[in-house]
Amino acid sequence: MKKIAILCCIALISMLVVVPAGNAGGSKNEEVETEMSTVFDVGMMVKGSFQPVGSIAFDADNTGVLSVTESGKDADKLQKAWEEISGQEVLSVRRSKRVKNDDGSTEMRFIGVNVERSNEGYPQAVMDYLSNKYGFFGKPAR
């Protein structure tokens, strides 16, 4: 039973160790640099179905790159919206906030929030801006 458990552990560990092709044969002390990115598919809702128009990929510095995958008026609209957004260091978006009233009841209010490009929530702010101002929807790419 111990042998099986040890073999299973070795098999699991061996699946976790991956050597990038570009580093094969490199020194063991070299560090592989990886960058996190966030990618959203951007599109419109047509008859209840998401129709992709393009995607926006954000790097670790929240610099976004638009890739348009369709053509037509929605693609043109997305490109114009992206030109506007990418030229701004700060986006003004709406957020909901629960506020307690004097009588003890609570209500939801929309408040304006400025989100800087350096903020970790910037990619989501871009999606909110595209949705609220231009009618696009964003969903995390797979």
**Domain positions in the chain:** 35-140
Q: Sign (positive/negative) of CA torsion 108, 111, 117, 123?
A: positive
Say what the alpha-carbon torsion angle 22, 28, 31, 36 is, to the nearest 10 degrees.
60
Look at residue 36 in the predicted model and tell me its pLDDT: 53
Mean pLDDT of 43-60: 92
Of residues 10 and 138, more confidence is placed in 138
- Please state, in angstroms and rounded to a whole number, the distance separating the CA atoms of residues 56 and 46: 20
- DSSP assignment string, 82-114: HHHHHT-SEEEEEEEEEEE-TTS-EEEEEEEEE
pTM of the model: 0.65
- Please state, in angstroms and rounded to a whole number, the distance separating the CA atoms of residues 35 and 76: 30
Mean pLDDT of 100-119: 90
Share of the chain above pLDDT 90, in %: 46
Mean pLDDT of 78-91: 92
Mean pLDDT of 115-138: 92
Confirm if 58 and 37 have CB atoms less than 8 A apart.
Answer: yes
Mean pLDDT of 73-90: 93
